[in-house]
Amino acid sequence: MSLSGQVAIVTGASRGIGRAAAIALARAGAHVGVNYRSHGSEAEEVAAAIRAHGVEAVLLPADVADLASVENMVATVVEKFGRLDIAVSNAAYSDREPFWDANLDGFRRGVDVTMWGAFNLLRTATRQMLAQEPRDLGDSPDGGYPREAKGSIVIVSSPHAYVAVPKAMSYNMSKAAIDQMARTAAIELAEHRIRVNLVHPGWIDTPGERKFATEDTLRRGGQKLPWGRMGRSEEIARGIVFLCDPDSEYITGSSLQIDGGVTLPWWASRGSGVPD
């Protein structure tokens, strides 16, 4: 898979899936804007890892819940690189409380980051992609037709979009919303040659999971999954790069599940749903 010379933004890129996606895009040849709100030193490490692949990185401190901040972030990337080809919406926030007793500041923060943050990037990236000249992808492999693209947008969703995980209402409803958001954008943007796709990771071993579980809980929970372990961020990143690859140009409005079988009936039949 080659993204040579393309320009990408990844939100929530200092840790976990975002970090892995940013580095994987760089490995495939893309210059990458690394968005983060906290964990600045880790974002610096990601930028260094990107540059080690012979491409450029730019650090983008911004709260994706704020539209103006996202607009400034995209403008910074375009000023440096001249265009934006790839946008990966990954930033999210979640607390775990019964909805009737939840701290509403945290509940709203979950919606603001997870849903509105995804919309803010989707809207801002789309406006930039519409304004720029399409990238010539060369002839199709069989030589039958010329190809061009204005951009590719990937939104990282979750099985929470369709599995009602208890004590996670804010996150559940936000992920459900961005699924429909992405599909709507895909049909509206198809004629403009901007692709929009979703990735649905399963239970992934990331620093964020330590907010809800101990190391022992994660280890034992992973062993109960159909694949016998939790997923790795790098496995999700490979799916993101695949969706952004020019040879995947016929894929839009799709949902790529990378979950080790966690949403298959085998797991649901155990009466546990997705692990909390």
For the chain, what's the residue count? Answer: 276
Catalytic site residue from 158, 170, 174, 233: 158
Cβ(35)–Cβ(25) below 8 Å: no
Q: Which residues pair with 35 in a beta bridge?
A: 60
* Coil vs helix vs strand at 9: strand
Q: How far apart are CA 9 and CA 78, in angstroms?
A: 10
Angle at 89 between CA 44 and CA 94, to 5 degrees: 90
Tell me phi and psi for residue 200, to 5 degrees.
-115, 90
Cβ(77)–Cβ(9) below 8 Å: yes
Longest dimension (CA), the chain: 60
Do the bridges between strand 146-149 and strand 57-61 make them parallel or antiparallel, or are there none, so unpaired?
A: unpaired
The DSSP element (H or E) to which 7 belongs, if any, is strand 7-10
Tell me phi and psi for residue 12, to 5 degrees.
60, 45
Sorted by sequence, the CB contacts under 8 Å of residue 45 that are 6+ apart come out as none
Q: How far apart are CA 191 and CA 239, in angstroms?
A: 24
Catalytic site residue from 14, 36, 175, 233: 175
- Whether 171 is catalytic: yes
- Whether 150 is catalytic: no
Catalytic site residue from 14, 89, 152, 171: 171
Kindly compute the dihedral angle of the four CA atoms of residues 86, 89, 90, 92, in this order, to the nearest 10 degrees.
Answer: 160
Pick from 44, 24, 46, 57: nearest CA to 154: 24
Residues marked as catalytic: 158, 171, 175
